Amino acid sequence: GGADFHFSGDGAVATAARLYGPYALAAANDDIYIADMQNRRVRAIDRHGAIRTVAGDGDPKNLSEPAGLAVSRDGTLYIADRAKHVVLALAPDGKLVTVAGTGTAGFNGHPMAVYTELNAPHALTFDPDGNLYVADTGNGRIRKISPDGYVTTVAGGGANTSDDTIPALAAKLAEPRGLAFDSEHNLWIAETASGRVRRISRDGRIAAPFTMRFDAPRALSFTPDGTLLLVESGGNRVSAITPDGEYMPIAGA
């Protein structure tokens, strides 16, 4: 990428390419995948530093606003298209296949993922059992899609805004946009509109472990030692929270 934004550079070194609104990252199989949102493409940088397009062609009918990426254990790339309200999988033949969502924004509670409605999905992540978790941002919910295509809500949809430990289904989520599992398989959520980071334990209860509010948290990830990395988009910085709770900005001012 570079200072000016448009689409260019496929087949060449990535530092000479141009991106437009890069929004999410995923890594697998020696590739770094980039949701090049405003170019309506997903691009990949290989281990030699060359960039290429792996999904989308700039036509919004095919891929509109890729906002979340995740790679399954078998190497399949999954894409959350927030404008089309669907989750897509990149098939081996290069075609995009809808795995969740109908293309209409809403919430109908259908148990099959391909018939359920989503609303502006963002982050995606997998648990160790191969279930795909979706930040169903516009619906204020976290949804789980099983390997056999069934969908359930695991958090959100309630009215309780407490920071205390409560059942996750009773909680009200304000724009969940980031998801990540820690080493103990707890699911963490970046809740952008409320400035909170919340944690769902394996027994299905949600809490806000930190008393501080963050500046529009949008994405999160864990390092191998358990440090939480957090993108605070409102503060134009990346912050770290150590396992013992120490907070420190590490990039941006």
The 10s digit of each residue's pLDDT in 208-229 is: 999 999 999 999 999 999 999 9
> Band of the pLDDT at 3, cuts 50, 70, 90?
confident
pTM: 0.96
Q: Which DSSP symbol is given to 3?
A: S
Other Cβ atoms closer than 10 A to 219: 22
Residues 6 or more apart whose CB falls under 8 angstroms from that of 95 comprise none
The 10s digit of each residue's pLDDT in 124-168 is: 999 999 999 999 999 999 999 999 999 999 999 999 999 999 999
Contact 116, 109 (CB under 8 A): yes
Contact 23, 64 (CB under 8 A): no
